[in-house]
Structure 1
């Protein structure tokens, strides 16, 4: 196909332009440098040799031209000029060899070689008829002696060159082997350094940063290029920098593998000015008489937070245990007014209700309790009626631990009363609703369809829980109405007193 295209270009107009385009077309060939694997020394060897040969081949015709120009009566002048042309074109082939190391103009190279071949053949053919004339030129004895001497020198130089080449090859082999070893060692070190799971810095004996890994870039917020050559004190809070310089200088004098400042609180400084606690390990290395120090830096902020959290949780457990004992004591004290059997039953039920609220809080790691789950836990005995005679309406809300305990106790008392005397003792229904209005939480319990309701003549512990204790515990308002068609209970309290502080909710 290429030949057909080439022939069509020769036949049509613009034959010379098309042919030149084909000769310089690089798309189908690969530069000669790929064959040399782009080894710098090998490419330089070929390129330099071809250039020097071209320079020499160019100089020789110039010298011949100068010589024949100054000696117009020289014998075989035309032969000398043909020989000069032959040498010049040979030189051109070398300069194109140099070009093809990078630019694959092999077709153009072929045409140059063809022209060189034509000139070479013409020169060779022309030489034979001139041999008799050349033999007729006398050769002085001095020239013969000089030639012999030159031959001896050439032999000596060749022997010397062979010895030098052998020595060079041996040295190159040693250098290659040593270079390979160093590259392998460097590669292993770089991989270990870069892939370390913690931040790694390497500093010289002046305290300047020479290398850092990706973890260090993430930890401190600096790219490696920005910190290379910068004093390591850049990564230390300003108040500690002067003291660190003295400590660093003392360490370099007697460097050992150890932790940095094991008896001190260490802190580091990120690019954005953030300070954080760290642990630092030091590992010195001697390289050509200089001490380099590889430092591993670990951010222990999370560990410190966990430690503080554990301490806080212990204090919280102690506090909540005391509160729980206080609640149980209050339940016992208010329940004690009944006879023995009733006391045991009511006390057990109330403690179980409190335990149900506690289970929700424990399952959420004391982050609060979902309002819907809290309601369901307190009417567990009537769960079969949920959706039919017991209606629940309200958005997803998470109550704080204290609010969950208080509201849970109130809901338990309301459910107990409904089961014994209210809507659930007959065929009535209960509607439990909750919602947010501005910055207030509204909760309501409405019974309808049960036995006729009358205002009680005495106040028991249940009424104290759903009115007084709920009001005090939530800093809200409680409305309890004994309407004939059914009991109604409403809670209106500040949302900030009852909602988990981590929850974001949209008010109704």
Structure 2
């Protein structure tokens, strides 16, 4: 019983999770508050589900909602127990809660799929509208037939009066129905518009006006295509619309609209081709659903998937380095430790000194490798803290850090191009600049003073390019990709010191920010490293004006 209790509630053999966080107050608070808020949010969702089930007492699949609510409750419990383990090592209970959550999660997932065909079989709005139109048509027919039968039994005057009354009532009903349809059309929360077959806007509802930012009078009579983004306009021009004209229906076409203020948002557009019997013209009813948030969430998921893949690749790199690059200095340390021990035992002082020097060199190299591994890991996996980064200030900071090396080498640094402000992680971008400048200084050509040109350029497509050009020893362009691989060197350590991790860190920083880094070399003439940034990743500095 004692072992089970210790297993469930922890013992002195276990340490609370807070030890892993070194009892850092900020980290403890961040984890604890996050778990508590997530748990409270989880616990409130089942309350809403229970309220929904009570309101829908005859809901056929209410048990599935109940199972889903139970699943959410256990998800919340996992965060509560996770918060507790920060201070108390109840890892057994945490495991039991997670196992129970896994069982409930699997049961919920298993229960959802059998009812999926019934959910898919639910009628679409278009089908409901067609049924409603048929019913209205039948009602009109019945009303007309009843009026004719009544008129047949009455005298001519009675028939005329009855007919007149019927017409008045019919007109009132039609007017009321049209008013209701128009009111429903205007107040529908989804963007709706009516156009002719050429796309000219005949009417728009309130949601369209609110979403686009235009007054209704401003858009009527204009083509709907004028409100599309450039890419969507090109897509619309290339598309063959004959299928839509033949079938009369279009579903979930992805397009982007442009608001009055110039901002864009993504939608899925459906359309129905209607015949206006009275006017003898055909109209198109367009329904647009804003999908911006959903698409942004999908892109974030894709980004996280790429980050996880990159992290896995980094782990593979670390495993390879640990089994190869780190083995060499460690083998030397072990070998010459034995030599030192033997020299001490036999009084050979020269052997002891030599072995001590080799051991120290191996330890320094191993420490450098471990330090560079940590730097590479931080660049590839540490969370980005976005900020506004004035490029001239970041460059000044990098020059200050490298000032001693710049003075000793006699290097000249030239800065050209417009002043810009980048959007990214300030520390990581500073490390990127330092590594690129340090690389240019390291590989200076013998007998030639280094000249390094830092240049910013903006191409016609508004992409920003930052280039670091030097007049050093250069390299063959066949190695342009290889130099960005971790611990890859084109020269021996005796020629140029280092572990070969600097440019790999630069590539990791650029990949985390969505930038592109490339290199070109000219043997014995120099090399150029370029970083390309999309137009949404920077702004022109006020100094540029």
TM-score normalized by the length of structure 1: 0.31
Report which of the two structures shows the higher radius of gyration computed on alpha carbons: 1
Please give the TM-score of this superposition, normalised by the length of structure 2: 0.29
